[in-house]
Chain A
């Protein structure tokens, strides 16, 4: 089973460039999330979606945008990259029909902005 797939795994961006981190899940989960993880820190929620066409901000949304046109895909767009966006990004998904449902993570995308 593929689960949650993120691409690219590694990327170096120059300041001011833009890019999109791709995320796809094949578990038919309605809830999807983007987190960032900085060295020695926990996970901070950037954006989440409770279903196709619905997105909402997490605790650190500035500098990012998302869209959810299908159940499967939840891309994260970085506009005008800044060094502060150097981080590891994790996409995740879960079946939101029950609070006890497990959240599944992708392998992560390592982004460096120079």
Chain B
């Protein structure tokens, strides 16, 4: 069975600081991995996804994530946080039928 863990339910950074949101997964097959963002009172939107091509994946709004098989990780980073990045972030792993989502990490950006 697949599963996803996200270390830290709430992360706070200062505006302009590095953003690092952690995601670890378990999967019995080569995984497809995703990061989604949820702004207040909205649905989830795709930030980026890994589908076995390049291990460093670039997404929207300068976010990127690196797939590390040896660490079973897919951490999300952004060099410089903006106030508009404040949201809930979900990591997910996919097999043919289902998505399994992590519990989410709420990112706060302090002025």
Contacts and interface: CB of A to CB of B under 8 A. Distances in A.
Interface residues of B, number: 25
Contacts of B44: 43, 90, 92, 105
A99 B96 contact: yes
B43 A42 contact: no
B46 A102 contact: yes
B34 interface: yes
A34 interface: no
Contact of A90 (B34, B43, B96): B43
Contact size class for A?
Answer: 20 to 34
Interface in A14-48: 31, 33, 40-43, 45, 48
Interface centre among B52, B99, B102 (most CB of A within 10 A): B99
27 contacts: A4-B43, A31-B97, A33-B99, A40-B9, A41-B103, A41-B104, A42-B90, A43-B44, A43-B90, A43-B101, A45-B98, A48-B98, A50-B97, A99-B95, A99-B96, A100-B32, A102-B34, A103-B92, A103-B94, A104-B46, A105-B36, A105-B44, A105-B45, A106-B43, A107-B42, A107-B43, A108-B41
Closest 6 interchain pairs by CB? A100-B51, A105-B43, A42-B103, A100-B32, A105-B44, A43-B101
Interface of B: 9, 32, 34, 36, 41-46, 49, 51-52, 90, 92, 94-99, 101-104
